[in-house]
Amino acid sequence: MDGVAGAEMAVINGSYLTIITQRTFNVVSYNIGTNWSIVPTGITDMDGVAGAEIAMASGSNLVIVTPKTSSMHSYTIGANWAVATSGVNGVSDMDGKPGAELAIVSGSNLVIVTPRTQSIASYTIATNWSILSNGIQNFNGKAGNDIALVVGGTGQLRVVHPADGSINSYSTGSTGTSWSLTGYTPYSNYIRIKIYSYTLGKNLIIDDALFEVLPG
């Protein structure tokens, strides 16, 4: 975790996260809070510098510890939130630059935290929405993962691109209001989304690089 040969140990110790470096016999403890947990896949490089960071949920806060510099940074997210667990890419590169971002579901908002720059981007989606199963992948062929989601009630499919902050919103006239995800298919250097539209009675392919809905 410090970018030097040899692994460190992360220990959950009551209200503290303790990092033990056997190489130097060093012990550093961070006071996180009375009720906290390490987020899924939350131990990885997040700042683009050698060594892993550790992401933790602590009440309304996301806490990132950087053992390399013995530092800690806290981000206020909200009362009810969770790092996305749809697939394995809730903590992954989303802007095409070194270090992972975190995709967070927080009520009506999709929140992207970039520890490298200690910044937060929030996208207001709807009161009822969800990320597609395995819906954090590279859908437009540009560096960094994108996030595919569906808006409840309307059935609108949207793809968020954290790298540039843009959103492709697909017309329900082209997808129908009732559809289901049938899978993904590699194409060129990105992934296409496959759905079956119950409204239109046919298979469709979402090509986000072209921002088009194609016959499936």
SS (H, E, C) the chain: CCCCCCCCEEEEECCEEEEEECCCCEEEEEECCCCEEEEEEEEECCCCCCCCEEEEEECCEEEEEECCCCEEEEEECCCCCEECCCCCCCEECCCCCCCCEEEEEECCEEEEEECCCCEEEEEECCCCEEEEEEEEECCCCCCCCEEEEEECCCCCEEEEECCCCEEEEECHHHHCCCEEEEEEEEECCEEEEEEEECCCCEEEEEECCCCEEEEC
pLDDT band at 2 (very low <50, low <70, confident <90, very high): confident
Residue 144 has pLDDT above 90, yes or no: yes
Residue 86 has pLDDT above 90, yes or no: no
Q: Which domain range does residue 181 map to?
A: 9-210
pLDDT for residue 85: 84
Question: Does residue 215 belong to any structural domain of this protein?
Answer: no
pLDDT digits (tens, 9 = 90+) for 24-76: 889 999 999 999 999 989 999 999 999 999 999 999 999 999 999 999 999 99
Domain count, the chain: 1
Question: Does residue 170 belong to any structural domain of this protein?
Answer: yes
pLDDT band at 98 (very low <50, low <70, confident <90, very high): very high
What's the predicted TM-score (pTM) here?
0.94
pLDDT for residue 25: 87
Question: Does residue 135 belong to any structural domain of this protein?
Answer: yes
